[in-house]
Structure 1
Amino acid sequence: MDRQFAIVTGASTGIGYELARICAQEGFDLLIAADEPEIQNAAEALRNEAGAGSVEALQVNLATEDGIDRLYAAARARPIDILMANAGRGLGHAFLDQDLARIRDVIETNVAGTTYLLHKVGNDMRRRNRGRILITGSIAGFTPGSFQAVYNASKAYLNSLSFALREELRDTEISVTCLMPGATETAFFARADMLDTKVGTEKKDDPAMVAREGFDAMMKGKGDIVTGLKNKLQTVVANVTPADMLAKQHRKMAEPGTAKT
């Protein structure tokens, strides 16, 4: 039998790598992408997974239309059974202190690039009336992100887009699942300049656990999955807490200088 084919973005490290690893273990052929050379090392490791199919890696800027076009072309018109839109950027510190170029990179990666990829692949899936989509949102999307404002806003967008797209595809054979983790032990906080914050230094979730819960939810066709009991409780509280209070609480986690000593 022909192997199924999956695309995973942001797969060089962290949750994206673990999602790709599960796909390899499940026997999928893989196309993985990231904007850093470590994606080649990730591909080599994935090829060594028992049962893995072919693994192709692409270093490409997923914040640009050209980068998304290159990723799409690398699929060589092969039907995409699973799309895991996981690539993302974080950014800490106060909004007015952030570099505008880095703000744009967060928006272009998390929002514009992901939207373009979903639109291209989603239309292919609709023509075939078959496919699974996993979008990596975040519980951050439920909270106004003081000292992480643009990132949280971008995740609110992805969470919302995922639920809307799922409803629009309700009468098809295409499933859309939103993976909403909390703080996870990845390179995210170092890259976002948040190692001097409380959230950046406290204990975090295991990316392998987060990926497994997300993958399983996707395969069951669920609409969303919040990983970890603590994160589930936080989302319940966030839904009934005034926005200004949530912003004050987030400040305690993300303001520079709040790191545990």
Structure 2
Amino acid sequence: MEQKKIRPLAVVTGASSGIGYELARQFVQNGFDVLIAAEDDGITEAARSLVGGGRVESVKVDLARYEGVEALYAKIQSLGRPVDAIAINAGVGVGGDFARQTRLEDELNLISLNVTSSVHLAKRVSKDMAQRRSGRILFTSSIAALMPAPFEAVYGASKAFIQSFSESLRNELADVGVTVTALLPGPTETNFFHRAGMDDTRVGQQEKDDAGEVARQGFEALMAGKDKVVAGSLKNRAMAAAVQVIPDTASAQLHRKLSEPGSGTKNK
């Protein structure tokens, strides 16, 4: 009797909607069992809707808290299976003038989720992968990592951290066969800008890239072992290329025009 083939296991955070949900869909459609995580109740419905030939499980955890990351890692361990791939995607934005508009509590929560939880989860999972000499890690960065980000100052800095961290970790793990890939999307059609309080900005109101297409490009780059991929439209790739050669003052001004509160109304 032929033994049933064991499917590889992937973990995706921030997977109740947006890019995270679409990344989970990519894994399911490409032969993975998937564990998805998010802090909201939508994660349960997301798991139900991810139909495919494999198993999909969900866990509701607040990754902005130390205990939340530990709870996710405990769930991973309880499966008794190696993690073949992980997409560390959970993140949040805060829009507005840092000194005069935004709340410190929101920005500290952003750092806890975007930066601290990413390091925490990567620490747990990468150690297991290094010991096994096998695994793939995908970090969701942003083209905001490539430029100063006025009116998203802490968010942009958090993604610059993730980009540097991803590149460094990739170098460290190269000798044990573990790959690390950074996904750099531009403005994408998700709930991100609404949650960040940026509905009235130019970037909040403009046409955005499709989350499914961004996720597909990220998944393909991960499976190919690439160091990074600037995902989305040709416009996004052109912007990413441009901001790496123009002065920071110019790229900061470009970001300001897109993200300044009220800029969407001004440009109607």
Smaller-chain TM-score bracket: over 0.9
Q: 1:50 aligns with which of 49, 52, 59?
A: 52
The equivalent residue for 1:209 is 213
Q: Residue 108 of structure 1 corresponds to which residue in structure 2?
A: 112
Alignment partner, residue 182 of structure 1: 186
| RMSD over equivalenced CA pairs, Å | 0.9
Cross-structure match for 1:163 = 167
Q: State the match for 2:259 in structure 1.
A: 254
Task: Give 1:50 deviation, angstroms.
Answer: 3.0
Partner in structure 2 of residue 59 of structure 1: 60
Read off the aligned partner of 2:44 and give its amino acid letter.
Q
The equivalent residue for 2:72 is 71
Distance (whole Å) between structure 1 residues aligned to residue 34 and residue 131 of structure 2: 22
Alignment of 1:1-261 (within 5 A): 1-46=5-50, 49-51=51-53, 53-75=54-76, 76=78, 77-96=80-99, 97-227=101-231, 228-259=233-264, 260-261=267-268
Q: TM-score, normalised by structure 2?
A: 0.94
CA distance in 1, matches of 2:66, 2:137: 20
Task: Show CA shifts across 1:25-71 (max 9, x none).
Answer: 1221111000110001101101xx232x1111111111121101100
Higher mean C-alpha displacement, 120-129 vs 169-178? 169-178
Structure 1 residue 172: deviation in Å?
Answer: 1.8
Alpha-carbon offset, residue 91 of structure 1: 0.7
Q: Partners in 1 of 2:163 and 2:181 — Cα distance? A: 10
- What CA deviation, in whole Å up to 9, does each residue of 1:188-219 have, x standing for no partner? 00000000000000000000000000000100
2:226 partner amino acid? K
Alignment partners' CA distance in 2, 1:236 and 1:187: 26
Measured in 2, the distance between the counterparts of 1:127 and 1:73 equals 18
Give the length in aligned residue pairs.
258
List alignment gaps of at least 5 residues for structure 2. Answer: none
Deviations 1:105-126 (A, max 9, x none): 1100000001100011000000
Matching residue's letter, 2:227 = G
Structure 1 residue 235: Cα displacement: 1.7
> Structure 1 runs of 4+ off > 3 angstroms?
none
Deviation at 1:151, TM superposition (A): 0.4
Distance in structure 2 (CA, Å) of the matches to 1:196 and 1:215: 32
The percent of aligned pairs where both chains have the same amino acid is: 47
CA distance in 2 between counterparts of 1:153 and 1:214 reads: 21
Q: Which amino acid in structure 2 is aligned with residue 84 of structure 1?
A: A
